[in-house]
Structure 1
């Protein structure tokens, strides 16, 4: 993972609850900021596992912020 080598046979725990909370990538990561620019977040997945409902969710967010 990144610069860390994980030896074969070791257990790796993925904590999705900590996704998008990296202060090096997201300043003030703990604060809700609907104006934050997109920066490769994990909210809708990635690649073949990308959420099919993502466009609808983005549209709902735009509509809600316009009200």
Structure 2
């Protein structure tokens, strides 16, 4: 079996990341965002994901109906 290479950790400068996102480099970027909307768009994505995480956490904290009975 061939030796596996350990993944390297590199930091991408935020300005480069934002330029690449703006240019539509990432597969999930199905459309180009205008520069003046980019920050708002990212905030919307982060807030939506935060709401999903919060809902998941609440559902894990909620008592199971079968265990309550």
Q: For this structure pair, what is the TM-score category when the shorter chain's length is used for normalisation?
A: under 0.3
Greater share of residues in helix: 2
Higher relative contact order (CA 8 A, sep 6+): 1
Structure possessing the higher radius of gyration over alpha carbons: 2
**TM-score normalised to structure 1 length:** 0.24
